Amino acid sequence: MIYRLTIDCFHLTAEAEQALQQFRQDRLLGKSRIALRPGGLAAAVEHYRDNASPPLVIVEDDGDEATVLERLGHLAEVCVSGTRVLVIGHVNDIGVYRSLLSRGVSDYFVAPVTAAQLMGAVEALFSDRASAPRGRMVAFFGARGGVGSSTLAHNVAWVMAETTGEEVILLDLDLAFGTAGLAFNLEARQTVGELLGEPDRIDVQLLDRILVKYDERLKLLPSPSELRSWPPIEVEAVDKLFDLIRQLAPLVVVDLPHLWAPWVVHALEQADELVIVAQPDLPNLRDVKALLDGVGQRRGEHAPTHLVLNKQDAYKKTQLSAKDFEETLKVRPVISLPFDPIFGEVSNNGQMLGEAVKNHKLAEAIRQLALLVCRRTPAAAGRRVPAGEMLTAWLKKAKLVK
Ligand SMILES: Nc1ncnc2c1ncn2[C@@H]1O[C@H](COP(=O)(O)OP(=O)(O)O)[C@@H](O)[C@H]1O
Ligand SMILES: [Mg+2]
């Protein structure tokens, strides 16, 4: 099994650094992104105050048991949920080993560690497909056609790749009218339409081949955007596509068409984060309400649904206000964006807003939306909680205890 993992390593000693260098060159990790940094566990805590933690973090620490536990407590506070931690320590004591494992550390190695030991730990953690990390899926859906849902999906995908440095895949599922290819000025190799028509053919290798690279981090699976009559799309085919795509990148943005079909409803329910985009008028209000009452209710409590109001003030005299939406829906829009011709201007040039105008207010609002939905906001720094409590919180986040 070839692993596609993102791993951060924080070493203290030269021996550990050497073992990690060798570990990084393992053939099985050829498709993984592995960063080596000095400073050990303490540096990791500082690093994740401002950066998202990947699925696996390897840290070295030379402190005694109490120090390591305290530092791990701080690490737990700043890591995103699902992050596993391997510790290289300098205390050779079975008691320490047990105590760390019981608190959610995936494995503890007494220095000097070898590359083979580290690889063994990776295999134990990730060889099972069910435990392989799955990319976070963010779906965009317009309450009505033309509200700007695709435009926001494209821009958010671009910003995610830009600000997190992680790989992002943008999946355009608007088979007839998709615009991802146009927006990024890219030619499709094969399209989502063909794939969904023959779900048996879909596998990771095929997907890897047909994904179109926008840059090092952002890849696209464009739609055919042809007015052919596509065979009906099966929910199972879409499910398989999602499952495989999520093995290929830590972040997946799905642009859904404004359609009411079983597979679309399924996608709306399955996404980790759902962004409903609406324009501030009465039909949009009615449809957002119906969506929140239906799909929104069926989504689990850990799968948030966000409302974005777009194109405010395009029709000043007749529009509703954000307050009207909030009062009726009991949901506050996470952002409200004004109508601004700049969207059309940059799109005519095949650019994303953040590329064309870096410090624009709208670009900043989209950046905030992107950070919110990929859950990569820096954790609350400086909050002081006793180490034991923090570890428990972390275990809960990592779903290791109830
Ligand atoms: N805030 C905005 N101000 C002005 N034009 C916008 C804004 N958001 C989107 N647009 C434009 O609206 C049009 C429709 O957007 P699109 O993203 O295709 O909508 P949807 O996917 O919801 O059907 C596009 O031409 C786009 O450039
Ligand atoms: Mg669209």
- Three-state secondary structure string covering 267-320: HHHHCCEEEEEECCCHHHHHHHHHHHHHHHHHCCCCCCEEEEEEEECCCCCCCC
Closest atom of ligand 1 to 341 CA is: 4
> From the CB of 279, is ligand 1 less than 6 Å away?
no
Residue type, position 7, single letter: I
- Bridge partners, residue 172, by sequence: 255
136-357 shares the fold of 6-131+378-397:
yes
Question: Regarding the domain with residue range 6-131+378-397, which homologous superfamily does it belong to in the CATH classification?
Answer: Response regulator (3.40.50.2300)
Kindly list the domain boundaries of the chain, sorted by start residue: 6-131+378-397, 136-357
Number of neighbouring beta carbons within 10 Å of residue 330:
9
Pocket test for ligand 1, best of 140, 141, 151 (most atoms within 8 A of CB): 151
What is the 257 CA–ligand 2 centroid distance (Å)? Answer: 5
> From the CB of 149, is ligand 1 less than 6 Å away?
yes
Give residue 379's pLDDT. Answer: 37
Q: Which residues contact 94 (CB under 8 A, 6 or more apart)?
A: none
Between CA 317 and CA 119 the distance in angstroms is 64
Give residue 386's pLDDT. Answer: 39
> From the CB of 284, is ligand 1 less than 6 Å away?
no
The reply to whether omega before 283 is within 30° of 0 (cis) is: no
Ligand that lies nearest to the alpha carbon of residue 280, given by its number in the listed order: 1
Give residue 51's pLDDT. Answer: 85
> From the CB of 339, is ligand 1 less than 6 Å away?
yes
Alpha carbon nearest to ligand 1 atom 24, residue: 148
Q: What is the pLDDT along the chain (402 residues), one digit of tens a residue?
A: 678 888 999 999 999 999 999 999 998 898 788 999 999 999 999 999 988 888 899 999 999 999 999 999 999 988 887 789 999 999 999 888 988 988 889 999 999 999 999 999 999 898 876 666 788 999 999 999 999 999 999 999 999 999 888 899 999 999 989 999 999 999 888 888 888 988 888 888 889 889 999 998 999 999 988 888 888 899 999 999 998 999 889 899 999 999 999 999 999 999 999 999 999 999 999 999 999 999 998 887 778 999 999 999 999 999 999 999 999 999 999 999 999 999 999 998 889 999 998 888 999 999 999 999 987 754 332 333 334 444 445 445 544 443
- Bridge partners, residue 308, by sequence: 277, 335
Q: Which residues contact 382 (CB under 8 A, 6 or more apart)?
A: none
Give residue 134's pLDDT. Answer: 80
Give residue 4's pLDDT. Answer: 80
Residue 220 in tokens:
């696209």
Between CA 285 and CA 281 the distance in angstroms is 6
Q: Which residues contact 25 (CB under 8 A, 6 or more apart)?
A: none
What is the 361 CA–ligand 2 centroid distance (Å)? Answer: 23
Ligand that lies nearest to the alpha carbon of residue 341, given by its number in the listed order: 1
Closest atom of ligand 1 to 142 CA is: 22
Give the ranges where 86-135 is alpha helix by DSSP (H): 94-102, 115-126
Between CA 206 and CA 138 the distance in angstroms is 22
Model pTM greater than 0.95?
no
> From the CB of 311, is ligand 1 less than 6 Å away?
yes
Question: Is 3.40.50.300 the CATH classification of the domain at 136-357?
Answer: yes
Give residue 79's pLDDT. Answer: 86
Give residue 286's pLDDT. Answer: 97
- DSSP-derived letter for residue 184 is T
